[in-house]
Chain A
């Protein structure tokens, strides 16, 4: 079944989510093809982070269906674990494990979840650290690194599980301005390598450079979607225009 629909890797139909009485997601529909780079943006409280977190079930959706690579996300724990192995996630606050070295942070999941040998996990980890540009930091603890370096380690940690989809939840929002570029460079390189990426961000330069499609979220709904050219040059909705003018002004 997954074969003939191979180009669609994520399919969300009428996804709804409530926090108690607050309706956080109001019927989100989205289909994402393999290899696509999606940028989600919108004002705070618009549900964009909540949405991306439902994709690996850090948040539970109460209505609608989410199918990831042919596996439906529901209450079946095995499905959840399968999907979490297929998706990597990078958080705003990095969430590195402070009691483990950089190398241990990266090898932990491959060793215990993928059951790789230490040698293999460490080899892959060093290659990834090479790729994100900080192999010399392998034996330091996260607390000894700068914010930008920590976020690059977090990206390497997510990639170590060899996911087919990468989720980024505002990966540069907690960084000092001079460190944003080093993280974005890694993400751009990743996008160009053909990884399916869903990125919640306000970095419009990144969106312009690599996004295939953009989604504007407001009040738990998709207000507008389209290619970066459509969104930046010909936004249809007034709400989109207003928001873009606010964030692009400075």
Chain B
């Protein structure tokens, strides 16, 4: 039997194919794949090259270059911009500190912000809108990020301090943004002047933060054995999920005002935020409920058997597992909430998209440049959505190692 041979030594794994072989095997292995390759490769290249050429040579970015502040904060009074600046710097400082403490993705995010700010601060082009003051501010914010990172690495700076900072900073920022009626140094700024990225961030971050606890409560309520709580939760979730976000926005911005007593006034932006929050809460609730149902009954029995009460079982055993299971879904939902906030344009709030539309209509020359404006806005949305989805993927892998059963 000649064919039977024993191999001496270890057998090496088969080598992966070389690039030429890969191309032959995958792109030209039969006549229709060859045809597809021949047609698609030039098409893709053409589109890519043309797009890049358009971005760098043909496109006229004047609407954005001339009005960066409009896109950033809308009509917020220019002499009061330091109030926005304080909020931004505070958050960047905390971001840096979190990077120092936890590292990982926070490092990427902090560095990305630092690079963008540094790039703008050092841009070797003379621009009227990018004056020395602004450049100094951007530069010092970059410094703040790195000071934060250095502080975050210190043992003495406890995780709790940074978390408390994250809890307090948004509140301080909002108070600064609103200001106080009759105070000369910090006069009240009506939300009608707020706009651009500032509003987009406030609505989506605020919506995400507030909708999570409400969604959690609704998810638990829906599983409750108390008929009133259960009934209310189901009614709320199903009603909100049954109508589009636009409807809820209209409800809150128009109908709610009619229902409230005449002398009461609820801020426009606040009402939009409520609408976004309730809308998101209903979806969060259903996602969390899915996670709760995915926790095996044996886990609850084991917790009961060691004497834990219902609350402890929920808090220590069920919730951590449920939230871990649905985290990617929830982040995905928050990404879509972030993009959905563009709908507030309909009720007259100037978020990033709203500002873009008014910039186009600002000068006759800009009317031709709507493509540039929309491309810029799309790019901004893409960058933030991309980071959120990367964050979710990162969380999944770090948590995934622990949940394998």
A residues adjacent to B (C-beta < 8 A): 56, 58, 81, 84-85, 87-89, 91, 93, 95-99, 108-109, 112-113, 141-144, 154, 157-158, 160-161
B347 interface residue per 8 A CB criterion: no
If A99-B320, A161-B306 touch, does A113 touch B312 (CB 8 Å cutoff)? Answer: yes
Q: Interface size (B, Cβ < 8 Å)?
A: 23
Chain B contact surface mostly: helix
B316 A108 Cβ-Cβ under 8 A:
yes
Question: What residues of chain A lie closer than 8 Å to B321, measured between beta carbons?
Answer: 97-99
For the complex, what is the distance from the CA of A59 to the CA of B307, rounded to whole Å?
Answer: 15
For the complex, what is the distance from the CA of A189 to the CA of B350, rounded to whole Å?
Answer: 73
A113 to B, closest residue via Cβ: B307
Question: What residues of chain B lie closer than 8 Å to A87, measured between beta carbons?
Answer: 305
CB distance from A220 to the nearest CB of B (A): 21
A85 B307 Cβ-Cβ under 8 A:
yes
> Which 5 pairs from chain A and chain B are nearest by CB?
A95-B302, A109-B306, A143-B404, A89-B305, A95-B298
A98 B305 Cβ-Cβ under 8 A:
no
For the complex, what is the distance from the CA of A157 to the CA of B298, rounded to whole Å?
Answer: 15
For the complex, what is the distance from the CA of A81 to the CA of B307, rounded to whole Å?
Answer: 6
B309 interface residue per 8 A CB criterion: yes
Question: What residues of chain B lie closer than 8 Å to A91, measured between beta carbons?
Answer: 298, 301-302, 305
CB distance from A173 to the nearest CB of B (A): 14
B306 A84 Cβ-Cβ under 8 A:
yes
Question: What residues of chain B lie closer than 8 Å to A160, measured between beta carbons?
Answer: 306
For the complex, what is the distance from the CA of A97 to the CA of B303, rounded to whole Å?
Answer: 9
CB distance from B303 to the nearest CB of A (A): 8
Question: What residues of chain B lie closer than 8 Å to A144, measured between beta carbons?
Answer: 404
Question: What residues of chain A lie closer than 8 Å to B401, measured between beta carbons?
Answer: 141
> Which B372-405 residues have a C-beta within 8 angstroms of A?
401-405
B316 A112 Cβ-Cβ under 8 A:
yes
If A95-B302, A98-B404 touch, does A109 touch B324 (CB 8 Å cutoff)? Answer: no
For the complex, what is the distance from the CA of A142 to the CA of B401, rounded to whole Å?
Answer: 11
> Which B289-315 residues have a C-beta within 8 angstroms of A?
296, 298-299, 301-309, 312
Q: B307: which of A84, A93, A95, A98 is its contact (CB, 8 Å)?
A: A84
If A81-B309, A85-B307, A112-B312 touch, does A98 touch B402 (CB 8 Å cutoff)? Answer: yes
Q: List 25 A-B contacts (CB under 8 A).
A: A56-B304, A84-B304, A84-B305, A88-B305, A88-B306, A91-B298, A91-B302, A93-B298, A95-B296, A95-B299, A95-B301, A97-B302, A97-B317, A97-B321, A98-B404, A99-B403, A108-B306, A109-B307, A112-B312, A113-B306, A113-B309, A143-B403, A143-B404, A160-B306, A161-B307
For the complex, what is the distance from the CA of A38 to the CA of B286, rounded to whole Å?
Answer: 46
Question: What residues of chain A lie closer than 8 Å to B312, measured between beta carbons?
Answer: 112-113
For the complex, what is the distance from the CA of A183 to the CA of B308, rounded to whole Å?
Answer: 25
CB distance from A39 to the nearest CB of B (A): 20
A142 B405 Cβ-Cβ under 8 A:
yes
Question: What residues of chain A lie closer than 8 Å to B316, measured between beta carbons?
Answer: 108, 112
